[in-house]
Structure 1
């Protein structure tokens, strides 16, 4: 039996970008990233998150607008090895009239029927309904507050979901 997938968004779960702008959350470090010309992006990351994520028993995969750039900028800071990523291609930020997030269809396709959990700060009931209707395996869409980032309760929920797959 293969391990379940864990799709990771960066901005929100790993980078609590909506926290008070003048107060870096405790335990986080600041990096400046120049993904595009102009003003560098401030990113807060918690170096302990990598080990915690690796300890959950999932196969990790980036599911972020950062795509492969997450391997250069995010992974090394939090202690993750190079990870595969969902290539959103031309679907990046594409509007869907049914209210399903633009990432959802690509994530389900990438999972290829495997059990998965997806941590993000932009999921909605429309995404839950879409996944339930088209994905044949177990799935957990776990919302993370962009003001807080991943917390102990989030890791617990992910561990509990993974445990249900082993029984």
Structure 2
């Protein structure tokens, strides 16, 4: 699986670089400005195709990502990791981590997120019992880069999970 966050990953917090476009959107009555790069979608789709991985959203945008983000970056509607309430932390992990662990089950996965840290990895290994995953921390002011995508491709390919050509 390839799990993708929105804010800090596809929507960097810093000054957007070349290729980013500014959008204004409204989610549940709240207005947001996002900066998105239309190349991200095709690059994520290519990675999924080459590795046989399934793309899914792992974002607080939840299903709103399919409405507001997918069409602007060139992605189809994707499955969404359901995020329940913040149940607190056991090992210092962020609130999304327990939901990601429950969602992926025994499937190997790569997770692109700007908030993953070693506490998240420890929680996933110790509390969820998962062993085959790669957390890809994305610098939130810069967002997703070719280096992040290459790290995911290499891990999926070298770990033997790749089912693509």
TM-score normalized with structure 1 length: 0.87
Moved more, 135-144 or 43-52: 135-144
Contact 2:3 2:110 in 1 (8 A): yes
Q: Distance in 1 between matches of 2:123 and 2:158?
A: 22
CA contact (8 A) 1:114 1:137 kept: no
Gaps of 5+ in 1: none
1:61 is the counterpart of 2:53? no
User: Which contiguous aligned blocks of 4+ residues in structure 1 show a shift greater than 4 angstroms?
Assistant: none
1:42 matched to 2:33? The reply is: yes
> Displacement of 1:95 after TM fit?
3.2
2:17 — aligned with what?
A: 25
Shift of residue 97, structure 1, vs aligned partner: 5.1
Show the counterpart of 1:15: 11
Matches within 5 A, 1:70-81: 70-81=65-76
RMSD, aligned α-carbons? 1.5
What is the alpha-carbon distance in structure 1 between the residues aligned to residue 74 and residue 148 of structure 2? Answer: 19
- Distance in 2 (alpha carbons) for counterparts of 1:98 and 1:127: 8
Conserved 8 A contact 2:111-2:134 = yes
Q: Is the contact between residue 86 and residue 110 of structure 1 (CA under 8 Å) also seen in structure 2?
A: yes
